[in-house]
């Protein structure tokens, strides 16, 4: 399976230019290395795992001590200046989120809140946006989760706004400065890969429990995509446009505002979209340290006592994500300067509309208070009806005598485990550690050159030193399989979506759902259907990772400069030739970012996978939080991060090498 | 002139109104202080804890007039929350010894209030139907040589299903110390474990697993405990502790499930403190009953609590000190 992963990584650029004979091609060389590994695996002793003398045993204890010290410092009567500043920020964020929640729930109350949302969306985003907004609020009411939804909405509005406020400027800077890019990339990797479970406790120590801690936890995860995609947008602006502007004597600021940002508009929009979706995918985890858990609470508790309710709460999270995303998109498109043709009467009409809308909201607010409408919609809901429907599906899923289980999923799961996952895990775990280390380094070298190879060697050595070699090999085998499936699926669907508006219309909402529906909600039914430890985790990883690949690949292939396409068309290229020889090679940056994000997303689900039976590192991280073994959780997270950085540099090194090759 | 006087009059009126509001507000807060005020209870992520929390909530609200807020903070961060007084009490804690040391003994920011009436017990369990064919599975010695019975795709030689990452366990060491040829397979969180076992039990397949009581599924699963070697002095239960293998060669201990309060709450003088101190289930089966209503019958936790309280007034009166 390692070959599949490796050859996918190699296959994308292979389409571009490869003059080497077949026996020196990357795929062959990787194959040779793996064959050598197999020989060593078969001939050498199976018990040579990472030696204890090369392990830093006291690291976990040391980390535990740090945490205890931080905690004791934080709770002192007179904490030092650092804590006082942080406590100040924390109180301000708490107050902001709570104020927003009170505004939505007890001041405006449900009729005015719905109207305000709907009319705001209508005024700035058009009729369709308004309708989407009202429909979202109506679904919260129908699901019987109004109050929880308002708590989460208040939290998410703050978290998304702050993420964009921080992420877009950083992304612009990253897009314009190579040095800053080198500096910030490891930070972004760490923020996206280190599982939130590992840093919940430190966040709580600094920010206490409550909305502030939830906002911070969410932001750690939702700022990086905003930065990365914004930077990609700035960089993807054609160099000749920037040069033309420079030649006309534009200042750097003018170049940014008049050339780069407008031309990067579509990717900026994608970064807003991804920030919203990433933020909403944190609702459940952030709920674990929030006194007002919002929609996270019914998910966490529902999993044990009422799974159907957990699924409804998950649905509310998805509705909120899609609603916010579509409305921001509509607003952005409407305010697009290239599409904006307003004459004076239009302007006056809009002003009138604003005033009227505010009047209606104020009226609704007053009427709501006079007729004492509750802060939450509580009269009629479809909750019981929906719970019964969902429960009947769950009941079907949980019966082992059904056709689905007996004839499809159970044999398929057994096959996957027995013939793919188990052998790969045994292979990686039982090959002597130095053979694995050398082989992985060699593969990194073949695929992307000397520096990524050095990084790979250092990272896997680090995994050994922190004492996680065995668990890491187990996790690594699962990550390879999941990434291979996610990347293949993502590239195929992404290219199809770029080529066909019809596919795009179908994949987009599916992607939105998969990125925001809490994995725990849908992965438990998979445990019933595939009751084999690794498989549900594998499915969760693939389902979470491939949408990002689809999105980035689709955007990349679509945004290929039209002149190149037109030129190829005039030479009489067929559609397939156009795709394989022009569009995909030219979209390579976006495709590589897609693969890279796909890997990161798979690693982000390692903990969830650990919670449904994948064991190894993910399980250790979960145990770290849940048993208060801070050190164990951090050490396992370091191993996950090291693995992520190695995989990332190998895929990225490739991109840089390719760039040098043919430009 | 006139304008100024008018402003003055308005200012005075406003000031008077403000003072009036302040007075009303302060009497209002004074009144709640004399009463019970708000009590924040944390519900942990298992059904037994939901049962505790909502039964206590019902009692505090209906017999003391408190308003009870329920939070859903994770097991370990909740200690920090209690230390800061943001959460008042946790009514069921499964021996987080490191946290007891840090927060109760060192920082004195939480107080251990003793048992909630339940005894937690961990052990190795098998479904009862398995005993018919293999009566020797009653003790661990009987497992020897029959490990293949527990074969599964991930462990062809025999699988041992490990527990939720949040629970104390030493099964890897114990299996090794007993010389059994079982592979320890982690099945993940409690929910995932329940899913997996219920599938296996529904198919009447053999399985051996890490499990515990009280757990309301026990009634439907019908599990039997496998007898492990007796406990001895210095016997270890925590697999993360570094100790020689022989120290793990014993059954798990049983321990009371603790109530943990915030020190700020204990000092607050709220009448809820005394009642929660006396809060105690008469037996494991009482909590299981309520859990079964909530998770088995999907009854609303508030209604389940009401049903329990109304049918167990003598228990509740003891809590209330009557």
Chain B residues within an 8 Å CB radius of A91: none
Pairwise CA distance, residues A543 & A612, whole Å: 15
- Provide the 10 A C-beta neighbour count for residue B266: 17
Please answer whether residues A164 and A226 qualify as being in contact, where contact means their C-beta atoms are separated by less than 8 angstroms.
yes
Least Cα separation, residue A78 to chain B (angstroms): 14
User: What is the predicted pLDDT for the residue at A578?
Assistant: 84
Q: Which of A147, A144, A135 is nearest to A110 (CA)?
A: A147
The band of A422, judged by pLDDT with boundaries at 50, 70 and 90, is: confident
Question: Best of A74, A205, A209, A610 to disrupt the B interface by mutation (most B CBs within 10 Å)?
Answer: A209
Q: Which residue in the set B76, B198, B301 is minimally distant from A625, CB to CB?
A: B76
Least Cα separation, residue B3 to chain A (angstroms): 31
User: What is the predicted pLDDT for the residue at A149?
Assistant: 92
Pairwise CA distance, residues A648 & A595, whole Å: 9
Give the residue on B whose Cα is nearest the Cα of A609. Answer: B188
- Provide the 10 A C-beta neighbour count for residue A426: 15
On the question of pLDDT at A653 being above 70, the answer is: no
User: What is the predicted pLDDT for the residue at B59?
Assistant: 94
On the question of pLDDT at A342 being above 70, the answer is: no
**Cβ contact, residue pair B80, A629, below 8 Å:** no
Please answer whether residues B131 and A97 qualify as being in contact, where contact means their C-beta atoms are separated by less than 8 angstroms.
no
Specify the residue for token string 């078969």. A42
Q: Which residue in the set A287, A534, A632 is minimally distant from B72, CB to CB?
A: A287
Pairwise CA distance, residues A404 & A529, whole Å: 8
Instruction: Report the range of poorest mean pLDDT among A93-107, A126-140, A151-165, A554-568.
Output: A554-568
User: What is the predicted pLDDT for the residue at B129?
Assistant: 92
Please answer whether residues B241 and B282 qualify as being in contact, where contact means their C-beta atoms are separated by less than 8 angstroms.
no
Residue B156 has which token pair? 């062809």
Q: What is the mean pLDDT of residues A328-336?
A: 79
> Which 8-state DSSP code applies to residue B148?
G
Q: What is the mean pLDDT of residues A472-498?
A: 90
**Cβ contact, residue pair B154, A71, below 8 Å:** no
CA B201 to chain centre: 25
Chain A residues within an 8 Å CB radius of B106: 68, 72
Least Cα separation, residue A399 to chain B (angstroms): 7
The band of A532, judged by pLDDT with boundaries at 50, 70 and 90, is: confident
Give the residue on B whose Cα is nearest the Cα of A627. Answer: B166
Chain B residues within an 8 Å CB radius of A607: none
Query: Phi and psi of A446, rounded to 5°?
Result: -60, -45
**Cβ contact, residue pair B76, A632, below 8 Å:** no
> Which 8-state DSSP code applies to residue B152?
B
Tens digit of each residue's pLDDT (9 = 90 or more) over B177-235: 999 999 998 888 888 888 888 888 888 889 999 998 888 888 788 899 999 999 998 88
Pairwise CA distance, residues A191 & A188, whole Å: 5
On the question of pLDDT at B322 being above 60, the answer is: yes
The band of A329, judged by pLDDT with boundaries at 50, 70 and 90, is: confident
- In chain A, DSSP finds a helix count (H) and a strand count (E) of 35, 0
Give the residue on B whose Cα is nearest the Cα of A529. Answer: B199
Task: Report ipTM for this prediction.
Answer: 0.79
Q: Using a pLDDT cut of 70, give the percent of chain B over it.
A: 89
Query: Phi and psi of B152, rounded to 5°?
Result: -150, 170
Least Cα separation, residue B164 to chain A (angstroms): 8
Please answer whether residues A9 and A549 qualify as being in contact, where contact means their C-beta atoms are separated by less than 8 angstroms.
no
Q: Which of A413, A390, A412, A395 is nearest to A537 (CA)?
A: A413
Pairwise CA distance, residues B150 & A358, whole Å: 68
Name residues 23-42 of chain B within 8 A of A (Cβ).
40
**Cβ contact, residue pair B166, A623, below 8 Å:** yes
Q: Which residue in the set B73, B98, B153 is minimally distant from A289, CB to CB?
A: B73
Q: Which of A153, A132, A103 is nearest to A295 (CA)?
A: A153
Q: What is the mean pLDDT of residues A602-611?
A: 87
For residues A5-38, one letter each, b for 16 or more C-beta atoms within 10 angstroms of the residue's C-beta and e for the rest, the string is bbbbbbebbeeeeeeeeeeebbbebbeebbeebe
Query: 3-class DSSP state for residue B93?
Result: strand
Question: Best of A313, A613, A624, A636 to disrupt the B interface by mutation (most B CBs within 10 Å)?
Answer: A613
Q: What is the mean pLDDT of residues A315-332?
A: 89
Q: Which of A626, A606, A601 is nearest to A617 (CA)?
A: A606
Give the residue on B whose Cα is nearest the Cα of A423. Answer: B154
On the question of pLDDT at A505 being above 70, the answer is: yes
User: What is the predicted pLDDT for the residue at A374?
Assistant: 67
Rounded (5°) CA angle A175-A181-A182: 160
**Cβ contact, residue pair B191, A532, below 8 Å:** no
On the question of pLDDT at A373 being above 70, the answer is: no
Q: Which residue in the set B86, B185, B240 is minimally distant from A629, CB to CB?
A: B240
What residues pair up with B186 in beta bridges, in sequence order? Answer: B162
The band of A258, judged by pLDDT with boundaries at 50, 70 and 90, is: confident
Q: Which residue in the set B50, B189, B199 is minimally distant from A305, CB to CB?
A: B50
User: What is the predicted pLDDT for the residue at A19?
Assistant: 61
User: What is the predicted pLDDT for the residue at A248?
Assistant: 87
Least Cα separation, residue A419 to chain B (angstroms): 10
How many interchain CB pairs under 8 A, A with B?
186
Pairwise CA distance, residues B203 & A162, whole Å: 51
Q: Using a pLDDT cut of 70, give the percent of chain A over it.
A: 92
Residue A514 has which token pair? 């998969």
Pairwise CA distance, residues A150 & A136, whole Å: 12
Give the residue on B whose Cα is nearest the Cα of A60. Answer: B240
Query: Phi and psi of A627, rounded to 5°?
Result: -105, 5
User: What is the predicted pLDDT for the residue at B32?
Assistant: 42
Higher-pLDDT residue of A661, A335: A335
DSSP, residue by residue, A443-469:
HHHHHH-HHHHHHHHHHHHHHHHTT-H
Pairwise CA distance, residues B194 & B218, whole Å: 10
Tens digit of each residue's pLDDT (9 = 90 or more) over B64-112: 999 999 999 988 889 989 988 899 999 999 888 888 888 899 888 999 9
Query: Mean pLDDT, chain B, as a whole number?
Result: 85
User: What is the predicted pLDDT for the residue at A127?
Assistant: 87
Least Cα separation, residue A209 to chain B (angstroms): 6
E strand spans, B156-206: 159-162, 183-186
Tens digit of each residue's pLDDT (9 = 90 or more) over A4-50: 433 333 444 444 455 667 667 778 888 888 888 888 888 876 677 77
**Cβ contact, residue pair A417, B87, below 8 Å:** no
Q: What is the mean pLDDT of residues A420-434?
A: 83
Query: 3-class DSSP state for residue A534?
Result: helix
Q: Which residue in the set A209, A417, A626 is minimally distant from B165, CB to CB?
A: A626
**How distant, in Å, are the alpha carbons of A58, B56, B287, B307 from that of B301?**
45, 11, 12, 10
**Cβ contact, residue pair A528, B199, below 8 Å:** yes
Query: 3-class DSSP state for residue B114?
Result: strand
Tens digit of each residue's pLDDT (9 = 90 or more) over A540-575: 899 999 998 998 899 888 888 788 888 888 888 888
**How distant, in Å, are the alpha carbons of A209, A530, A636 from that of A607?**
22, 18, 10
User: What is the predicted pLDDT for the residue at A236?
Assistant: 83
Query: Mean pLDDT, chain A, as a whole number?
Result: 83
Half-sphere exposure of A460 (CA within 13 A, CB side): 25
Question: Quick one: A630 exposed, middle or buried, by C-beta within 10 A (0-12, 13-18, 19+)?
Answer: buried
On the question of pLDDT at A412 being above 60, the answer is: yes
**How distant, in Å, are the alpha carbons of B11, B96, B268 from that of B71?**
44, 19, 19
The 3-state secondary structure of A559-622, one letter per residue = CCCHHHHHHHHHCCCCHHHHHHHHHHHHCHHHHHHHHHHHHHHHHHCHHHHHHHHHCHHHHHHH
Chain A residues within an 8 Å CB radius of B74: 200, 288-289, 625-626
Question: Best of B78, B107, B188 to disrupt the A interface by mutation (most A CBs within 10 Å)?
Answer: B188
User: What is the predicted pLDDT for the residue at B25?
Assistant: 40
**Cβ contact, residue pair B74, A626, below 8 Å:** yes
**How distant, in Å, are the alpha carbons of A109, A209, A288, A587, B5 from that of A218?**
27, 14, 12, 31, 55
Question: Quick one: A293 exposed, middle or buried, by C-beta within 10 A (0-12, 13-18, 19+)?
Answer: buried
The band of B40, judged by pLDDT with boundaries at 50, 70 and 90, is: very high
Q: Using a pLDDT cut of 90, give the percent of chain B over it.
A: 44
Query: 3-class DSSP state for residue B43?
Result: coil
């Amino acid at each position: 399976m390692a070959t599949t992963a490796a050859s996918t990584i190699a296959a994308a650029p292979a389409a571009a230019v490869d003059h080497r004979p077949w026996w020196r091609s990357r795929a062959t060389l990787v194959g040779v290395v793996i064959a050598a590994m197999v020989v060593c695996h078969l001939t050498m002793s199976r018990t040579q795992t990472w030696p204890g003398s090369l392990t830093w045993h006291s690291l976990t204890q040391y980390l535990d001590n740090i945490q205890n010290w931080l905690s004791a410092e934080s709770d002192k009567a007179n904490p030092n200046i650092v804590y006082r500043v942080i406590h100040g920020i924390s109180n301000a964020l708490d107050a902001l989120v709570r104020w927003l929640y009170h505004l939505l729930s007890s001041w405006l109350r449900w009729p005015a809140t719905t109207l305000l949302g709907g009319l705001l969306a209508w005024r700035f985003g058009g009729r369709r946006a308004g309708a989407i907004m009202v429909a979202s609020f109506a679904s919260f009411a129908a699901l019987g989760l109004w109050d929880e939804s308002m708590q989460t909405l208040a939290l998410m509005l703050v978290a998304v706004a702050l993420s964009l406020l921080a992420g877009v400027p950083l992304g612009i800077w990253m897009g314009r400065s190579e040095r800053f890019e080198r500096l910030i990339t490891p930070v972004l990797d760490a923020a996206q890969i280190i599982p939130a479970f590992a840093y919940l406790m430190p966040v709580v120590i600094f920010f206490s429990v409550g909305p502030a801690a939830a906002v911070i936890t969410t932001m750690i995860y939702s700022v990086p995509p905003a930065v990365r995609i914004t930077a990609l947008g700035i960089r993807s602006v054609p160099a000749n446009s920037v040069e033309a502007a420079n030649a006309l004597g534009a200042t750097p600021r003018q170049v940014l505002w008049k050339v780069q940002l407008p031309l990067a508009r579509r990717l900026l929009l994608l970064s807003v979209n991804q920030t919203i979706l990433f933020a909403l995918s944190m609702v459940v985890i952030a709920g674990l340290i929030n006194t007002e858990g919002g929609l996270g609470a019914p998910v966490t508790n529902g999993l044990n006592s009422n799974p159907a309710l957990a699924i409804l709460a998950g649905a509310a999270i998805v509705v909120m994500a899609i609603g916010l995303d579509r409305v921001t998109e509509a607003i952005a498109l409407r305010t697009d300067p290239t599409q904006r043709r307003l004459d004076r009467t239009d302007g006056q009409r809009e002003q009138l509309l604003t005033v009227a809308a505010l009047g209606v909201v104020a009226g609704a607010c007053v009427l709501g208070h006079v007729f004492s409408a509750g802060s939450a919609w509580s009269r009629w809901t479809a909750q019981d009806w929906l719970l019964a429907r969902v429960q009947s599906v769950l009941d079907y899923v949980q019966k082992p005598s059904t056709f689905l289980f007996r004839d499809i999923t159970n044999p398929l799961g057994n096959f996957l485990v027995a013939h793919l996952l188990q052998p790969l895990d045994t292979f990686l775990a039982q090959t002597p550690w130095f053979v694995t280390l050398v082989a992985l380094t060699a593969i990194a070298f073949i695929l992307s050159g000397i520096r990524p190879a050095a990084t790979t060697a250092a990272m896997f050595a680090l995994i050994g030193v922190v004492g996680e070699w065995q668990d890491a090999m187990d996790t690594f085998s699962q990550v390879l399989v999941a990434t291979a499936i996610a990347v293949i699926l993502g590239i195929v669907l992404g290219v199809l979506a770029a080529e066909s508006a019809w596919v795009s219309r179908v994949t987009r909402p599916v992607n939105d759902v998969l990125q925001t529906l809490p994995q725990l909600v849908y992965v438990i039914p998979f445990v019933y259907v595939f009751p084999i430890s690794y498989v549900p985790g594998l499915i969760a990883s693939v389902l979470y990772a491939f949408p990002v690949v689809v999105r980035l690949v689709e955007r990349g292939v679509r945004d290929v400069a039209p002149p190149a396409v037109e030129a190829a068309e005039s030479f009489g290229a067929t559609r397939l030739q156009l795709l394989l020889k022009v569009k995909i090679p030219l979209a390579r940056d976006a495709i590589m970012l897609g693969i890279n994000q796909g890997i990161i997303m798979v690693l982000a689900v390692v903990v969830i996978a650990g919670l449904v039976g994948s064991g190894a590192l993910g399980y250790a991280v979960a145990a770290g939080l849940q048993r208060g073994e801070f050190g164990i959780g951090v050490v396992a997270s370091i191993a996950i991060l090291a693995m992520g950085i190695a995989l990332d540099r190998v895929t990225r090194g490739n991109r840089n090498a390719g760039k040098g090759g043919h430009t | 002139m006139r304008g100024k006087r008018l402003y003055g009059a308005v200012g005075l009126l406003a000031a008077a109104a403000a003072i009036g509001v302040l007075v009303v507000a302060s009497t209002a807060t004074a009144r709640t202080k004399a009463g019970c005020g708000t009590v924040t209870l944390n519900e942990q992520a298992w059904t037994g804890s939901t049962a505790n929390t909502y039964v206590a909530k019902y009692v505090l609200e209906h017999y003391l007039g408190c308003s009870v807020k329920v939070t859903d903070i994770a097991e370990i961060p909740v200690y920090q929350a209690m230390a800061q007084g943001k959460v008042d009490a946790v009514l069921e804690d499964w021996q987080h010894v490191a946290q007891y040391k840090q927060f109760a003994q060192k920082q004195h920011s939480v107080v251990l209030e003793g048992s909630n009436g339940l005894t937690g017990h961990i052990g190795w369990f098998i479904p009862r139907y398995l005993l018919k064919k293999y009566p020797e599975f009653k003790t661990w010695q009987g497992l020897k040589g029959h490990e293949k019975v527990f074969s599964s795709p991930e462990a062809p030689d025999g699988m041992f299903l490990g527990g939720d990452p949040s629970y104390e366990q030493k099964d890897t060491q114990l299996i090794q110390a007993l010389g059994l040829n079982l592979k320890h397979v982690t099945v993940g969180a409690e929910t995932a474990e329940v899913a997996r076992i219920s599938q296996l039990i529904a198919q009447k397949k053999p399985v051996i697993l890490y499990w515990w009581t009280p757990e309301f599924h026990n009634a439907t699963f019908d599990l039997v405990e496998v007898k492990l070697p007796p406990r001895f002095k210095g016997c270890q239960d925590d697999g993360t502790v570094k100790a020689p293998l022989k120290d793990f060669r014993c059954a798990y201990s049983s321990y009371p499930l603790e109530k943990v309060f915030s020190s700020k709450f204990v000092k607050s003088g709220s009448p809820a403190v005394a009642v929660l101190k006396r809060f105690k289930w008469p037996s494991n089966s009482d909590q299981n009953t309520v859990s079964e209503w909530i998770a088995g019958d999907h009854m609303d936790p508030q209604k389940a609590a009401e049903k329990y309280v109304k049918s167990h007034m003598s228990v509740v009166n003891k809590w209330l000190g009557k």
